[in-house]
Amino acid sequence: MTRVLVTGGSGDFGRACVKHLVEAGWDVIAVDQRGEEVTGGRFVRADLTNLGNVVEVMNYIDWQYSGGVDAIVHLGAIPAPGITTSSATFDNNIRATHNVFLAAKLNGIKRVVWASSETTLGIPFDIPPSQVPIDESVPARPESTYAMVKALEEQMAAHFCRWDPELTMIGLRFSNIIHEEGYAEFPGFDEDTAIRRWNLWGYVDARDAAQAVERALTVDRTGTDVYIIAAADTVSARPNRELLDAQFPGVPAVRDVGEHDTLLSIDNARRDLGYEPRHSWRHNRTDA
């Protein structure tokens, strides 16, 4: 059994991710500054902005575990722009992530998977995207402090990997993470093509986001890369051509975008990680 530390384990996605990893047979230790326990795993309360705390939780906690961890999944963050001040978002998120990256290095942990974000792509697209589908080849264009920190973290990971060629650091640029219960509101998005223009009508089922985490934990490679993680389709019953003509006329399609195919490209995640979304709001069932 491989032991993995999940930061932000009490969070909305953290809980789904812990559940997935426990069910897949991982020995999970969740760390968060709030919450008390996680199903099937162990829980440690700690503030990620304190380097000492982060070094300790990767090593040993009295009566809970010793012997360190094999891999890190770093999800702990203030999870969106506008929740608090820009400076509080910056201070918490960049400090937490630097501490996690540095503590992994100090503890000799060679695998780090962390939550980046679709916001690095230019959300809310007040300036239209340069192409659809948008993919990782398009330079990051953060439009908020939250997104800027995510972009900086991607650069930080590149330097950590340059310093240590044995390290693997995979950033997952999650689209809007949705739980099954959230699908009930999707038909309402079709009232106006503008409602979900802000992220190119993207989403990802929490179970598929967790699948991506596990694939990033196990993919056989070193170095760093970032991957867009989205569902295979959009949130809309309207065809892509109608959505794009209404909201982004003139934005070039670099390939066929299909009737409802995601406009946040998951081609690289499919190719490199073997990621394949299994859930869609459209039929709300699990594909084989």
Ligand X SMILES: NC(=O)c1ccc[n+]([C@@H]2O[C@H](COP(=O)([O-])OP(=O)(O)OC[C@H]3O[C@@H](n4cnc5c(N)ncnc54)[C@H](O)[C@@H]3O)[C@@H](O)[C@H]2O)c1
| Binding region for ligand X (CB under 6 A) | 8, 10-14, 32-34, 47-49, 75-79, 92, 96, 115, 117-118, 174, 176-177
Query: Would strands 111-117 and 168-174 be described as parallel, antiparallel, or unpaired?
Result: parallel
CB of 74 to ligand X, least distance (A): 8
Rank residues 10 and 107 by Cβ distance to ligand X and give the closer one: 10
**Least gap, CB of 152 to ligand X (angstroms):** 13
Locus of tokens 């500054």: 33
CA–CA dist 121, 175 (Å, integer): 10
Q: How far is the CB of 179 from ligand X (least distance, A)?
A: 10
Helix (H, G, I), strand (E, B) or coil at 112: strand
Residue closer to ligand X (CB basis): 78 or 109: 78
What does the block give as tokens for 88?
């509080």
Interatomic CA distance for residues 16 and 207, integer angstroms: 7
Q: Looking at beta carbons only, is 79 or 133 nearer to ligand X? A: 79
Alpha-carbon distances, residue 247 vs 109, 118, 122, 198, 231 (angstroms): 45, 19, 15, 10, 21
- Nearest to ligand X of 26, 114 (CB atom): 114
Cβ closest to ligand X, residue 109 vs residue 121: 121
- 205 sits in which H/E element: strand 204-205
In whole angstroms, the minimum distance from the beta carbon of 118 to ligand X comes to 6
CB 178, min distance to ligand X, A: 8
Which C-beta is closer to ligand X: that of 26 or that of 241?
26
Nearest distance in Å: CB 14, ligand X: 5
Using alpha carbons, list the distances in angstroms from residue 56 to 44, 97, 99, 179, 250: 10, 15, 11, 32, 53
Which residue number places its CB atom closest to ligand X? 11
Rg (CA), the chain: 19
